[in-house]
Structure 1
Amino acid sequence: MAKQSSTVPKKASPAAKKPAATARKKPAARKSTKKKKGFDYPWRTTLVIVLLVLFSPLYYGYVLNFFTGAVRWVKDIGENPHYRTYHSFQIRIPARYKIHGIDVSYAQGHIDWQRVKQMEEDSVHISFAFIKATEGMLIVDSYFKRNWREAAKNGIVCGAYHFFRPQKNGQWQARFFMQNVTFEKGDLPPVVDVETLDGVSPANMRKELQQFLTTVERKTGVRPIIYTGISYYQDYLAGHFEDYPLWIAHYNQPELQIDKSVKWHFWQHSETARVNGINHTVDFDAFNGDSLAFTRMLIR
């Protein structure tokens, strides 16, 4: 039988093998250390804050106040710093006193009390108002009821006054006054305005005035205030009625020129003030004391 030949494949030699491809690793990307152009974070924050301040109404309010104060300082050069001109009120005001007010009657006409209350210049504003109520034994001020109601409604402390006629009975004048005014807690004491003799003697004037004061005090439980001019006081009232609060008129002076022994509470220092809401000139007053002393004067 014939012999079959077999072919066995030869093994490849190790040298013949091709080397395997090696995957090369890409180098890691390095972070750039180069700074970016522009402002860093703190500078941006600062810039934002500055812009907010510059565009803030408060900033311009501060600048305006500073500018206004500087202008006022220049205008006041040479003036007494405690008695300088307040241009919105158009008068000089004794700035040593911190509580200011006005007194009004029909002569001021229709008053916008809201505007009166809102008016202010360099911390000077209207805190109180004395309002004319009656005169003699027959006359009621035509604007009294409205002024008495509206002034109080707008947060102004009120007091009512009677214009005294010495030739008429003091007791009856007091009764007429009290019939037309209702005083309440928080009001200023009632006021009697005495500034004429009406042809009677000083002694008779004082007699009727005492009748008026006694009657009002008995009915209200509070001691009335006496209003008068400085000359009238010195001529006819000095040494009398010393237990009653005193309100003195003395115009256009840096200080009330009265004997230091006289205890006064209110000073009417101008009769030509201009106040928002009032179309006519008006009397301007100062209280001689601080807020605590003012509160103690009020009816309780």
Structure 2
Amino acid sequence: MKKKTVRRKSTVVRKSKKKTTLFYGKFLRYSVLLFCVGIFFLLLYHYRNGLAYYFSFKTDKILSEKAEDKRLSDIRNHQVLVKIDGKSIGIDVSEYQGDISWSYVDTLENQFPIHFVLIRATVGSDRLDRKFEKNWLGAKSNKMIRGAYHYYRPNENSLEQAALFIKTVRLNKGDLPPVLDIERLAENQSIGRLKIGLKRWLDKVEAHYKVRPIIYTGEKYYDDFLKEEFKDYLFWIANYNFYREKINEDWLFWQFTEKGTVPGISGNVDLNIFNGDLQQLQFITVE
């Protein structure tokens, strides 16, 4: 009688995936951590000038109680200013800056000369800036290149707005061309009608002063609504983004912050860069 052969089932030993998963998990976490640390040090290096300015000022403040308090926004502002490559710096003001001591308005951080100022003159079809006349004369007495701008209200008659500006502002030799400030969309008219109104204001003001006006607006507004149809005009663009540190080649002026500090002015003030040096700035003034 044959003996029955009993075969044992072989046990298959499978490698555990747990160790592999743990390894890749740790590797991924360390990689992300190293990446974040690397980005952090790159940012420190990139903003080294602004950070050095900020922290040195804080150190000085301990020694001098008269020093004004600085903010983190000044890191980026200083970073922009050290890269201007000889370009002219200016400010723009309105009644919101209150009474300005113009004889003190000379430099930023005792390092960067202020060459020009753009002053709000009129708003819509019926309102004068309450400080325009005082600011207009003060800038002139301080030997600054000055310019006047009109804040455009899309829902009001464009020709009446132009007439108010012309009645209010008298440009002299050495002043900058007039500026149209457009920031809002119309509530009761199409984009097409708004553009017609803007063109009427620009045409009437150009006919009076014999010089083509400049248009002020935000970068997105410029890209979305004005860039193509108003390409024959020069633009003054507002962009406060932290990542932007140089003026675009297509812009005449760049308003790079609304949180500047200037001697002679209480509170915040807008800072601007002209896309050229002082001699080139003088070249575009009214003759």
Q: 1:217 aligns with which of 189, 201, 206?
A: 206
Are the counterparts in 1 of residues 247 and 254 from structure 2 also a CA contact under 8 Å?
A: no
Q: Which has the larger radius of gyration?
A: 1
Q: Which residue of 2 aligns with 1:125?
A: 113
Query: Which ranges in structure 2 are unaligned for 5 or more consecutive residues?
Result: 1-42, 58-67
Are the counterparts in 2 of residues 134 and 141 from structure 1 also a CA contact under 8 Å?
A: yes
> Are residues 1:186 and 2:186 paired?
no
Q: What SS does the corresponding residue of 2:45 show, helix, strand or coil?
A: coil
Percent of aligned pairs with the same amino acid:
38
Q: How does 1:1-300 map to 2 (within 5 A)?
A: 78-80=45-47, 91=74, 92-93=77-78, 94=80, 95-97=82-84, 98-117=87-106, 119-121=107-109, 123-199=111-187, 200-251=189-240, 252-255=242-245, 263-300=250-287
Structure 2: how far apart are the matches of 1:96 and 1:296? Answer: 23
**Cα displacement string for residues 127-186 of structure 1 (whole angstroms, at most 9, x for unaligned residues):** 110000001110000000000001110111100000001122222211110100100000
Q: Which residue of 1 aligns with 2:65?
A: none
Amino acid of the structure 1 residue aligned with 2:244: P
Are the counterparts in 2 of residues 268 and 285 from structure 1 also a CA contact under 8 Å?
A: yes
Deviates further, 265-274 or 92-101: 92-101
Q: Which residue of 2 aligns with 1:11?
A: none
Deviates further, 89-98 or 204-213: 89-98
Structure 2: how far apart are the matches of 1:79 and 1:111? Answer: 35
Query: Which ranges in structure 1 are unaligned for 5 or more consecutive residues?
Result: 1-75
Structure 2: how far apart are the matches of 1:274 and 1:120? Answer: 7
Structure 2: how far apart are the matches of 1:171 and 1:225? Answer: 17
Structure 2: how far apart are the matches of 1:165 and 1:83? Answer: 38
Structure 2: how far apart are the matches of 1:214 and 1:123? Answer: 40
How far off is 1:292 after superposition?
A: 2.6
CA, structure 1 residues 201+256, in 2 after alignment: closer, same or farther (shift >3 Å)? farther
Q: Which residue of 1 aligns with 2:24?
A: none
Structure 1: how far apart are the matches of 2:212 and 2:243? Answer: 28
Are the counterparts in 1 of residues 104 and 264 from structure 2 also a CA contact under 8 Å?
A: yes
How far off is 1:79 after superposition?
A: 3.9
How far off is 1:238 after superposition?
A: 1.8
CA, structure 1 residues 171+82, in 2 after alignment: closer, same or farther (shift >3 Å)? farther
TM-score scaled by length of structure 2: 0.71
CA, structure 1 residues 232+267, in 2 after alignment: closer, same or farther (shift >3 Å)? same
How far off is 1:77 after superposition?
A: 7.0
How far off is 1:124 after superposition?
A: 0.7
Q: What SS does the corresponding residue of 1:78 show, helix, strand or coil?
A: helix
CA, structure 1 residues 266+277, in 2 after alignment: closer, same or farther (shift >3 Å)? same
Are the counterparts in 1 of residues 108 and 261 from structure 2 also a CA contact under 8 Å?
A: no
Are the counterparts in 2 of residues 253 and 269 from structure 1 also a CA contact under 8 Å?
A: no
Count the aligned residue pairs. 221
TM-score scaled by length of structure 1: 0.68
Are the counterparts in 1 of residues 83 and 246 from structure 2 also a CA contact under 8 Å?
A: no
